[in-house]
Amino acid sequence: MIPTPVKPKIDIQAVCSIAIQAGKKLLEFYKKNDLQVQYKEDNSPVSTADYAANKIIVEEIEKLAYSFPILSEEGADIPYEVRKNWETFWLIDPLDGTKEFIKGNDNFTVNIGLVYQRFPIAGVIYLPVIDTLYFADEHGAFKQVANKELIRLQLPQEPDYQNLRAVKSSSSVYRPEEYEVLKKLNVKQITPIGSAIKYCMIAEGSADIYYRQSPNMEWDSAAGQAIIEISGGEVLGADKQRFAYNKPSLINEEFICYGFSNSSRFVL
């Protein structure tokens, strides 16, 4: 008889501490406005702050008692043939919202997700400028502002269908077909916001829907998906199935995040 795999257990507070350390390093660069910026093949920017935060995260995660492979935006050249058999791995974006960071916009985050059998099961998102954490694991999803009391995140089964609120990226061009989908869903308000803050807004109930067709990457969404799902929401792909990871291409295809659990009434 083949034993049932056991989900890995982690110390989520240790992971939160790592995200905070990386966030504090980002703030050092941000306050000095002292950056060297390069551009990748896809024309996306990467800065010395990205690399400095990535170094902290990788080094600190490797000190933890459990050793899972690490897939990071700044180390994304790991071939699919190597990673395709990973059962559990870290998926990291040390600076999500580099464009906002460079422009002096406060909407940037540190994202650390844990993926197990192709799905995120834990995540941490840290907002350095406002010293705010969102995190989730098997014990639930939480928000914490500046070391104050934890706020449990628990989404409703049903939203206010007459007043649905959506979030969108503030740095990428929003396609007309994306607006058409939101119109079809009867969305009344659309808020542009940078980085993984969109996922946090869904998880805490300050927005209901995040729909995206334009490409982003697996490390952009994994931590946020974990937090939304554990809060009680859903993240689905174009096939209406739970959004999965560790694909041959790390580019995310179409997906939608719901800040509630009863999304079955919506048909895209």
Work out the number of other CB atoms within 10 angstroms of the CB of residue 56.
19
CB 163 within 8 A of CB 259: no
Task: Map residue 240 onto helix, strand or coil.
Answer: coil
Mean pLDDT for the chain?
91
CB 236 within 8 A of CB 256: yes
Residue that wins the pLDDT comparison between 205 and 1 = 205
- Fold: same for 12-152 and 161-258: no
Pick the CATH number of 12-152 from 3.30.540.10, 3.40.630.30, 3.40.50.300, 3.50.50.60: 3.30.540.10
39-76: pLDDT as tens digits: 666 656 667 888 999 999 999 999 998 889 999 987 77
CA pair distance 258, 219, nearest whole angstrom: 19
Q: How confident is the model over 27-36, as a mean pLDDT?
A: 81
Query: For residue 222, how far is the Cα from the chain centroid?
Result: 5
* Domains of the chain by residue range: 12-152, 161-258
Assign a CATH topology to domain 161-258: D-Maltodextrin-Binding Protein; domain 2 (3.40.190)
Collect all residues with Cβ–Cβ distance below 8 Å to 230 and sequence separation of at least 6.
136, 137, 140, 141, 153
For the chain, what percent of residues have pLDDT higher than 70?
91
